[in-house]
A and B are shown apart, each in its own frame.
Chain A
Amino acid sequence: MATNEATSNVKRIQVRRFKPEEYPEKHYLNEEKGIWAWMTTVDHKKIGLMYLASITFFFFVAGVLAILLRTELLTPARSFMDADVYNQVFTLHGAIMIFFFLIPSVPAALGNFVLPLQLGAKDVAFPRLNLASYYIYVIGALFTLFAIFTGGVDTGWTFYTPYSATTGGNVMAMTFGVFILGFSSILTGLNFIVTIHKMRSPGITWNRLPLNLWGLYATSLIQILATPVLAITLLLLTMERLLGIGIFDPALGGDPVLYQHFFWFYSHPAVYIMIVPGFGIISEVISTFSRKVIFGYWAIALSSLAIAFIGFLVWGHHMFTAGQSSLANMVFSFLTFLVGIPTGIKIFNWLATMYRGSIDLKTPMLYALVFLFLFTIGGFTGIMLGALSVDIHLHDTYYVVAHFHYVMMGGMVMAFFAGLHYWWPKMFGKMYSEFWARIACAILFVGFNMTFLPQFVMGAQGMPRRYFNYIDQFQSFHVFSTIGAYVMSVAFLIMAGYLLHSLLKGKRAPSNPWGSRALEWQAASPPPLHNFHHVPVIINGPYDYHKPMSEFQLGIAASHNGHHHHGDEAVKVEKSEKEQA
């Protein structure tokens, strides 16, 4: 519409400096009171916290299940649960961790909280849809609980046919729960894309968008493009059980491998739904704690989109042994290797950002370093699994389990903790104990490697996944791995302890404890209900640490609805004279 006038589109805006209010009396946590105000809130920050509470609960549940699994595996034969129970427990561990924790963790919990703040917006574009997405999530969770108490599910989190179409238990309630959950994920993605496109504050052009938002943007694209395919897949699976439609059931003339294609067309991109927002957090944290402008802004931003794109073309690498044509195998293997390129670009840009920065090893930064270390291992072992001949040997062994946990837990969960500790002061206005947080991080790092490094070895030696018993030669690895899991749970207990202490008795947090230049830190801690009392105006990039803080606190007084500034338009800023001093 306005392309012809683009050059003459520069607007002049009178701005002045708005210093964030320190230790505000009134903020979003206490402006409205009562449980009903929480249940019906459309405030993105509160919805983010509601998600955070829910995913913490599910992380705890699935974590306990993991401990049970590892305990069972202490001995080669039955230790304390039967094979059937074991199958149900590992299915639930996987399904809950993936669908109820990992997928909503960064986008729906942290992303919801921070996205409008980073845009200088008052809320997301569709606040009521945002609330709806939370309740849809809860309904999906109830269906899953129902499935657990009415027979359980023992198919593994992938629900492969024909087993899932014929086994006992309540697969239908479980898949229907995950189906419902998908809508929650779609609504979040839709909301984020529209918000990023339409609700940026004046001056936030695409090249001043925080990299966290580029990460969330790429994630949202995957969410809206892949999740509907999962929805139709699970609907077909439900119909398979309900009516026997036969599309995936060989007994009725259908094709089970078609199910695997359908499933992985979603679930491979879904892995990137889990990891790409983590990349965004790592970019923010590394730049903030290196006090340095991010190295390769566009390389990091676009590599997120590249990963999202390539992620749609590699689903066949889950099916190398399922009877695909060897040509398809070769193509999928090649495309899988390509994922390594944008991922490598990110890693090197983060390292280059740290180079000669003044690095401050606060807890979020520690988690970012842990992420770099573990995720790189996870990524490289993924390349090995993508190689055809090697995969024939390693397919369905503990090697795959270890790879997946290095990427998901070593990568995503560590990035989530980096983000949680980074934004904690903004969320609750409280500081946590830096000392205990660092200790927990160190224990977690050690415990994690104790748990999953041995699994690479025993996987390479042929220990198959999903078995509740094993031959004696693997026992020492299993015992070591189980001890590692216990060590990790100690770290989680410490974390729960100091975070609870912070909530109840923590020191009040200043508005910008890390000295960050990003916009969310220019709001009060915790922010007021509508984030900013003014309209923020952005004249620098979010990582321009060489520029004074005052240039990041500019804005125009909010005379509501009178103005018409969008992020797309270039702004020319005139500071009023008083502020020059």
Chain B
Amino acid sequence: MAQPSVTEERLEHLKHYFIDSDQQFEASKMGMWIFLVTEILFFGGLFLAYIVYRTWYPELYLLASEELHTFWGAVNTVVLIGSSLTVAMAIRSAQLNQIKGLIINLWITIGLACVFMVIKYFEYSEKFAKGILPGAHYSYEGIAHEKANIFFSIYYMMTGLHGIHVLIGIGLMVWLVFKAKKKVFHSGYYTPVEITGLYWHLVDIIWIFLFPLLYLID
């Protein structure tokens, strides 16, 4: 989408090596898209490990995934999808020069992201208590399969890396709120909001793949 025309020209954001705001905006956006491609390949390695082991041990995945709580996974899915909506609304607010709306929407997004992490925390600690620990520390007896540790290694790697991405997203959005309060953003310049939004959608989409692959296979 093209940027709406700026009524009053504010150019303090424009770096000297760009010709105009459009060029700067398009460059930043393209840079973010390329970064998202690298993220997909980064997670792609884990998805591949998932596929390989699932092909070798299909029954392991069915057994082990019963240990995961579909209900809380579903709640987290709804929470993240909701946060994607609010981050999109934040971008819309910025486009319309509604800085107050921008800040409110960012706060809601941050709140939802925190809800996600809290639920994840309870899921993890419930498993740790049972002895479902990553890798060599695995000591749970409840799954009748000798490779159960591998499933949970993959589970912890995937959800752990995803969790780190959620934390980074929270940090970015707090920074955006800070900037927005300083009146840095306006309808002629909201690039950081836009590209953080792109990042946040990716975090959301990765979860949308993780949820059925890990929770819904039984």
Contacts and interface: CB of A to CB of B under 8 A. Distances in A.
Nearest to A125: B27
B137 A231 contact: no
A227 B43 CA distance: 12
B42 A232 contact: yes
Interface residues of A, number: 47
A123 B24 CA distance: 12
A123 B28 CA distance: 14
Nearest to A224: B38
B17 A123 contact: yes
Contacts of A227: 38
Interface stretch (B44-52, B82-90, B94-102, B113-121): B44-52
A197 interface: yes
Interface in B31-87: 31, 34-35, 37-39, 41-46, 48-49, 52-53
Nearest to A187: B35
Contacts of A462: none
Nearest to B23: A198
A125 B35 CA distance: 14
Interface string A343-379: 0000000000000000000000000000000000000
B150 interface: yes
A316 to B, nearest CB: 14
A122 B18 CA distance: 8
B23 A194 contact: no
B134 A199 contact: no
Chain B interface, DSSP helix/strand/loop, else mixed: helix
Contact of B149 (A193, A194, A253, A566): A253
Given A186-B38, A193-B34, A254 B150 contact: yes
A190 B134 contact: no
B41 A225 contact: yes
Given A1-B2, A229-B42, A236-B157, A224 B37 contact: yes
Interface stretch (A27-35, A242-250, A330-338, A428-436): A242-250
B119 to A, nearest CB: 23
A145 B1 CA distance: 47
Nearest to A240: B135
B184 interface: no
Contacts of B27: 125-126, 194-195, 197-199
B157 A239 contact: yes
A452 B25 CA distance: 51
Interface in B99-152: 134-137, 146-147, 149-150
B49 A236 contact: yes
Contacts of A255: 52
Given A224-B37, A252-B136, A252-B150, A561 B45 contact: no
Interface string A207-251: 000000000000000001111110111001001100111110000
A265 to B, nearest CB: 8
A255 B27 CA distance: 42
Contacts of A231: 42
B31 A564 contact: no
Given A126-B31, A224-B37, A564-B20, A243 B154 contact: no
Given A233-B45, A565-B19, A245 B157 contact: yes
A224 B37 CA distance: 8
B30 interface: yes
A246 B20 contact: no
Contacts of B30: 193-194, 197-198
A247 B150 contact: yes
Given A197-B30, A229-B45, A245-B134, A190 B35 contact: yes
Given A198-B23, A236-B157, A239-B157, A246 B42 contact: no
A171 interface: no
A198 B33 CA distance: 14
Nearest to B14: A561
Nearest to B40: A228
Interface in A159-208: 186, 190-191, 193-195, 197-199
A295 B37 CA distance: 35
B44 to A, nearest CB: 7
A506 to B, nearest CB: 30
A132 B53 CA distance: 37
A246 to B, nearest CB: 5
Interface string B146-172: 110110011011000000000000000
Given A121-B17, A127-B17, A565-B19, 4 more contacts: A225-B41, A229-B42, A245-B153, A252-B150
A-B pairs, 4 with minimum CB distance: A244-B136, A232-B45, A245-B153, A243-B135
23 contacts: A125-B31, A190-B34, A197-B30, A199-B18, A199-B23, A224-B34, A225-B38, A229-B41, A229-B44, A239-B134, A239-B135, A239-B153, A240-B135, A243-B153, A244-B136, A245-B157, A247-B154, A252-B135, A253-B150, A254-B150, A255-B52, A262-B45, A262-B48
